[in-house]
Structure 1
Amino acid sequence: MRSRVEEFAEIRRAARVEGLSINALAKRFRVHRRTIRQALASAEPPPRKTPTRAAPKLDAVRELIDGMLRQDIDAPRKQRQTATRIWHRLLDEHDADVGYPTVRDYVRWRRPEILGITAMSKAMVPQAHAPGAEAEVDFGELWVILAGVRTKCFMFAFRLSHSGRAVHRVYPTQALEAFLEGHIDAFEEFGGVPTLQIKYDNLSPAVTQVLAGRARVETTRWALFRSHYGFDAFYCEPGINGAHEKGGIEGEVGRFRRTWLSPMPVVDSLAELNERIRNWDQRDENRRIGRKITTVAHDFQTDREHLAALPRDRFDPGLELYPRVDRSALVTVRQAKYSVPVRFIGRKLRVSLRASELVVFDGRQVVARHERVIERYGQAVLLDHYLEVLQHKPGALGGSTALAYARASGAFTGLHDAFWAESRKVNGDAAGTRELIDVLLLHRTLPDYAVLAGIHAALTVGAVTADVVAVEARLAAGAENTDIAVVEVETLPKVVSLTQRRLTDPAAVIAGLPPDTRPAPSVAGYDALLTRRAAKHAATAPISEGVSGA
């Protein structure tokens, strides 16, 4: 089938070559004379007129739809009425006889006219960013299967505007400590600080009040942090009007979440997740952004050369608090409890609450360090903090919360349990538990693998005492390639130690010991020596004079 352009070309050729009239051309090509005149006037066919179709059902509700769309002029962006909602309102409130496709098509082109959304407002102007000069920061929500529990977290994203190189970190909160820690990680990852400015939303960790224009009232700690690292903050306009001012980071948060964090990551801790994210950030360096012919890694080299140097001292991002240690050797911070050594009960200690951890200080000395507790009313308890009091109260160990947490974390292993069971069997409950506590104290000065090696050796020879474990642990600490497997009680060899036999009641029967056939000890030989010595002494003694009764 010929197109209209081809038909017009044949008409014009016939008129030019054969000199046919309009009537003759109309008869040959079987078209109207008006079409012949159009072809002779222009080689390009005129556009076809779209007939105006009557829409009686739409005409009946057109004003109603326009009124509903005008209600959205002042409404929040995320609460504007959809075409489906408008259609349901027409059916419920006005009993209209109109189909959903009719309403949907009308709303699609009518909404931009009413809301003033024009091509001008949606247009984007390409931007050029100097190397090392600018960056953008934002937070994004994220769901993680954390230790088997679906948990809501927050992803901090820092993006250099020139190269697009980004750093991502996941934190349990988006409070000021996470905000600062994310910046520090990004600065240290990049090896410098942007020289011109960093763009932000009006995030509550940084801004306490939004003033006219771009003026803001900043939090004191945020202002101190900016002064320490020497950069300026650029605050975008509030709401949707300022989204385009940092469009790079807005798209980066969604891109990274779709690329690497879907489906929901399954991890045991946020530290494990952030370690994965570091690897993913490095893999992203090989990608190209948009139509650039260079990779992110290539452009980042230029960025790095122009960044300002890091300050000499690292800023402490933690929130400083001073809680009091309760009778259970716990401090309460943000509705969560953390253990400290029992010697600090009743004292106030300085706590640095950071995004991913909590550090407790006594003066300048670190006395406790915990991963930050995410859940409300949760606890972080270390068995090591209670060992001194357990030496005086060994019966409290079995049901203690500290032991339960140590077992759950893997710090208290099957080897510890095996040693404890054998020690109580041989030494009794209280003395056997104290031997275990002395073994646990060895972890403070020796590597974990060495202590486990010492426990394994002690169990092998049946000498379930802390002294034997200590000797064997020090030997293992000096050896290489020590490989210790967890040993269950049932798999341990029988007790054959003569040392342990001496430490126990001779009447007790220790499984596996051979019978002792040696004769019982006797002092008869020593008695004969004493008799001879007494006779010799009597023979040499002088005779007494003046004996009474002579």
Structure 2
Amino acid sequence: MESRVELFAAIRRDARVEELSIRELAKRHGVHRRTVRQALASAMPPARKTPTRSSPRLDPFKDAIDDMLRADLDAPRKQRHTATRILARLIDEHAATGLSYSTVRDYVRVRRAQIDLEGGRRVEEAAFVPQIHEPGEEAEVDFGEVWVVINGVKTKCQMFIYRLSYSGKAIHRVYPTCAQEAFLEGHIDAFETLGGIPTRHIRYDNLTSAVLAVLHGGDRRRKENDRWVLFKSHYGFDSFYCQPGIAGAHEKGGVEGEVGWFRRNHLTPMPEVESLEELNEKIRAWEAADDSRRITGKLNTIGTDYQAEQNMLSPLPVDRFDPGLVLHPRVDRSAMITVRMMKYSVPAHLIGRTVRVSLRASHLIVFEGHTTVATHPRVASRGGHVVNLDHYLEVLKHKPGALPGSTALAAARAAGTFTAAHDAFWAASRKVNGDAEGTRELIDVLLLHRSLPAEAVAAGITAALTVGAVTAEVVAVEARRHAATLDSAAAGEGGASSDRHPAAQGDVGEHRVVSLTQRRLTDPAAVIAGLPADTRPLPSVAAYDELLPRRAAAATSTADLTKASTS
């Protein structure tokens, strides 16, 4: 199909070459004489006029629709009129039965934008003024949502991002939440990793971890959280808060873009890790590799600009700020405390008491007075729990039957702290000592983990099983010997411990343990652990029997003398 530009060109060519009249040109090209005159006047066809479409059915109701839209200027965001609601009101209040939804929708879409602009709610065109950032002066902070597969479970986490405005050097840390403890801990990690603090300010949006309320009045005043004010005072920096909502996103556009770039390039597909600590270690390696990246519009790489900026940062204070949030939960009858809807175990002797908790971004610490009694990783999923078998050992010593089906034992098996060696010792001990006493022996072995390394206790269990002496005393002796051997090797002494039996000095791996208790509980005819046969004769009391007549005779003589003296 011939375009209007080609049509105008053909008309102008025929008029120039053949010198045809306007009537003849119009007849040849099948157009109106007005079109011929336009072609002869200009090679560019005039723009087509868009016809103004009238809405005779809608016209009587336009004022009513405008009133509804103007009322929305002061209404809450989630309670403003939709096109559906406007049509319903027109039908109910104005008997507008002849209107269609599409007619109302198209008018509302255009008119709402115009009324918002008139009311000052919407800016017609946003104008941006390019800014420069001096080295060491500014940084930007934000949180971004990320999904991580932790131990096979898809979990929503929060990524803290701190970005230097001049070089673009950024620190990323993934935490279970974006609560204030994660906010503060992310700052501390960033300050210490980068080796300094910006001299001018750090830009933020209105995070609840820092801002309690936005104070209106034409400026950027905020009501800040007291702990956040204390943190800023400790590290000596100022905060700059962006405009609320989407209008202020461009004021920290560097970190906004960093969130998406890092998530697309390093966290896609979703990383699969055992813990957030493992993920954050990987992130540190990615950050180091990103130093060779060049940001669009810059001449140097991130690493080069950061080297120039690092010396411009303010030094860190001598003391490190404690980012933990202090809480005081009460220990329930299951020796558990509830912190932010998650449950954590504590030693059973604290049941019914109130403890002090320091809640950190990735873990929490439980104190009894000034003594640390428990440290747990922070649970990422709501309603989760962390149970430590060690916290229940004293209770299980009195209730051994509760151990097999306990949540603490299942958690210890899942974590790998209750090993196959423990299970083997437990089975052997129950076979010899019975269920209750055998379980108590196992609990005594588990108590050894409080004072000895896990490797030493495992070696003690292996030695006891090898010789068939499944008692906690034997495990303790061999575990201490193994620990002493490890200490000697670590100190460079080598060899076996000096308190070990000389027969075993030649081969540290050979265990010559003899349990007299075990011998007494088993068949006397069996040869236990290489114990030599007892060839000694049975003991005799014949020599003592010879003394009995002499004692009887002496007693008779004494009685006769007493009788004679009294008579």
Alignment of 1:30-179 (within 5 A): 30-56=30-56, 59=59, 62-63=62-63, 65-77=65-77, 80-81=80-81, 96-97=97-98, 102-116=103-117, 120-141=124-145, 153-179=157-183
- The one-letter code sitting in structure 2 at the alignment partner of 1:471 is R
| 2:518 aligned partner | 503
Distance 1:90 1:267, change over 3 A: farther
Distance 1:80 1:284, change over 3 A: farther
- Pair 1:218-2:224 in alignment: yes
CA apart distance, 1:200: 2.0
CA apart distance, 1:436: 3.0
Q: 2:469 aligns with which of 463, 466, 473?
A: 463
CA apart distance, 1:317: 0.4
**Normalising by structure 1, what TM-score?**
0.74
In the alignment, is the contact (CA less than 8 A) between 1:436 and 1:466 conserved in 2? Answer: no
Give the share of equivalent positions with the same residue, in percent: 61
- The one-letter code sitting in structure 1 at the alignment partner of 2:165 is S
- The one-letter code sitting in structure 2 at the alignment partner of 1:202 is N
Q: Which deviates further from its counterpart, 514-523 or 168-177?
A: 514-523
CA apart distance, 1:428: 4.8
Distance 1:328 1:193, change over 3 A: same
- The one-letter code sitting in structure 2 at the alignment partner of 1:448 is A
| 2:560 aligned partner | none
| 2:243 aligned partner | 237
Deviation string 1:271-329 (CA, Å, 9 cap, x unpaired) is 44544554565566666656667655555445445333322322110123456767876
In the alignment, is the contact (CA less than 8 A) between 1:208 and 1:219 conserved in 2? Answer: yes
Alignment of 1:34-433 (within 5 A): 34-56=34-56, 59=59, 62-63=62-63, 65-77=65-77, 80-81=80-81, 96-97=97-98, 102-116=103-117, 120-141=124-145, 153-211=157-215, 213-253=219-259, 269-275=275-281, 277-278=283-284, 296-297=302-303, 299-321=305-327, 333-334=339-340, 338-341=344-347, 350-361=356-367, 366-373=372-379, 379-387=385-393, 397=403, 402-429=408-435, 432-433=438-439
Distance 1:381 1:18, change over 3 A: closer
Q: Distance in 2 between matches of 1:527 and 1:401?
A: 62
Q: Distance in 2 between matches of 1:506 and 1:445?
A: 29
SS at match of 1:169: strand
CA apart distance, 1:475: 4.6
Deviation string 1:425-458 (CA, Å, 9 cap, x unpaired) is 3345565445434433443454434433442343
Q: Distance in 2 between matches of 1:266 and 1:27?
A: 76
- The one-letter code sitting in structure 1 at the alignment partner of 2:378 is R
Distance 1:100 1:140, change over 3 A: farther
Distance 1:54 1:321, change over 3 A: closer
CA apart distance, 1:363: 6.5
In the alignment, is the contact (CA less than 8 A) between 1:134 and 1:197 conserved in 2? Answer: yes
What's the Cα RMSD here?
4.7
Gaps of at least 5 residues in structure 1 are: 481-495, 532-550
Distance 1:295 1:28, change over 3 A: farther
Q: Distance in 1 between matches of 2:227 and 2:359?
A: 14
| 2:504 aligned partner | none
- The one-letter code sitting in structure 1 at the alignment partner of 2:476 is A
Distance 1:167 1:517, change over 3 A: closer
Q: Distance in 1 between matches of 2:274 and 2:529?
A: 49
In the alignment, is the contact (CA less than 8 A) between 1:131 and 1:302 conserved in 2? Answer: yes
Q: Distance in 1 between matches of 2:297 and 2:76?
A: 35
In the alignment, is the contact (CA less than 8 A) between 2:327 and 2:358 conserved in 1? Answer: yes
Alignment of 1:483-502 (within 5 A): 499-500=514-515
Q: Distance in 1 between matches of 2:191 and 2:513?
A: 62
In the alignment, is the contact (CA less than 8 A) between 1:137 and 1:198 conserved in 2? Answer: yes
Q: Distance in 2 between matches of 1:68 and 1:19?
A: 63
Q: Distance in 2 between matches of 1:469 and 1:425?
A: 22
Distance 1:170 1:81, change over 3 A: farther
SS at match of 1:72: helix
Distance 1:511 1:282, change over 3 A: farther
Alignment of 1:428-447 (within 5 A): 428-429=434-435, 432-447=438-453
In the alignment, is the contact (CA less than 8 A) between 2:460 and 2:476 conserved in 1? Answer: no
SS at match of 1:162: coil
Q: Distance in 2 between matches of 1:175 and 1:104?
A: 41
Q: Distance in 1 between matches of 2:451 and 2:457?
A: 10
CA apart distance, 1:402: 4.1
In the alignment, is the contact (CA less than 8 A) between 1:438 and 1:466 conserved in 2? Answer: no
| 1:522 aligned partner | 537
**Normalising by structure 2, what TM-score?**
0.72
SS at match of 2:40: helix
Q: Which deviates further from its counterpart, 356-365 or 516-525?
A: 516-525
Distance 1:29 1:75, change over 3 A: same
In the alignment, is the contact (CA less than 8 A) between 2:335 and 2:351 conserved in 1? Answer: yes
Distance 1:432 1:348, change over 3 A: same
- The one-letter code sitting in structure 2 at the alignment partner of 1:111 is R
CA apart distance, 1:196: 1.5
SS at match of 1:73: helix
SS at match of 1:443: helix
CA apart distance, 1:226: 0.7
Q: Distance in 2 between matches of 1:15 and 1:282?
A: 72
In the alignment, is the contact (CA less than 8 A) between 2:512 and 2:529 conserved in 1? Answer: no
- Pair 1:452-2:452 in alignment: no
Deviation string 1:484-511 (CA, Å, 9 cap, x unpaired) is xxxxxxxxxxxx9882477322653899
Q: Distance in 1 between matches of 2:256 and 2:419?
A: 46
